[in-house]
Chains A and B, each alone.
Chain A
Amino acid sequence: MTGNAYDFSIITKNIDQYLVLHWGPSMAATLELVLVGVLYLLIYALVGLLLVYAERRICAFIQCRLGPNRVGPQGIFQTIADFIKLLLKENIRIERADKLLFFIAPFIIIVGSFLAFGTLPFAKGLHALDPDIGLFFIMAATSLGVIGILLAGWSSNSKYSLIGAMRSGAQIVSYELSVGLAMVTMVILTGTLQLSEIIEMQRDGWFIFKGHIPALIAFVILLIAGTAETNRGPFDLAEAESELTAGFHTEYSGIKFAFFFLAEYMNMFVLAAVATTLFLGGWMPLHLGNLQAFNQIMDFIPPLVWFLVKVFAVIYIIMLFKWTYPRLRIDQLLSLEWKYLLPINLFNLILMSVIVLLGLHF
Chain B
Amino acid sequence: MTFSEYISGIFRGLQSLLKGMRVTNHYFFNPREIVTQKYPENRAQLQMFERFKGEVIMPHNEKNEHRCTGCGICEISCPNGSIEVITQTIVTEDGKRKKILDKHIYHLSMCTFCGLCVKNCPSNALDFGQEFEHAVFDRSKLTKVLNKEGSTLMKEVE
Contacts and interface: CB of A to CB of B under 8 A. Distances in A.
Interface of A: 58, 61-66, 69, 320-321, 323-325, 340, 344
A191 B38 CA distance: 55
B34 interface: yes
Interface in B11-45: 17, 20-21, 23-25, 27-28, 31, 33-36, 38
A66 B36 contact: yes
B114 interface: no
How would you classify the secondary structure of chain A's contact residues: helix, strand, loop or mixed? helix
A244 B23 CA distance: 29
Contacts of B17: 324-325
Nearest to B29: A61
B37 to A, nearest CB: 9
Given A61-B27, A62-B27, A64-B27, A320 B21 contact: yes
Interface of B: 10, 17, 20-21, 23-25, 27-28, 31, 33-36, 38
Contact of A324 (B10, B24, B33, B38): B24
Nearest to A325: B20
26 contacts: A61-B28, A61-B34, A62-B24, A62-B27, A62-B28, A64-B27, A64-B33, A64-B34, A64-B36, A65-B34, A65-B35, A65-B36, A66-B38, A69-B38, A320-B24, A320-B28, A321-B21, A323-B24, A324-B17, A324-B20, A324-B21, A324-B23, A325-B17, A325-B20, A340-B10, A344-B10
A206 to B, nearest CB: 22
Contacts of A63: 27
A63 B23 CA distance: 11
A4 to B, nearest CB: 36
Contacts of A62: 24, 27-28
Nearest to B35: A64
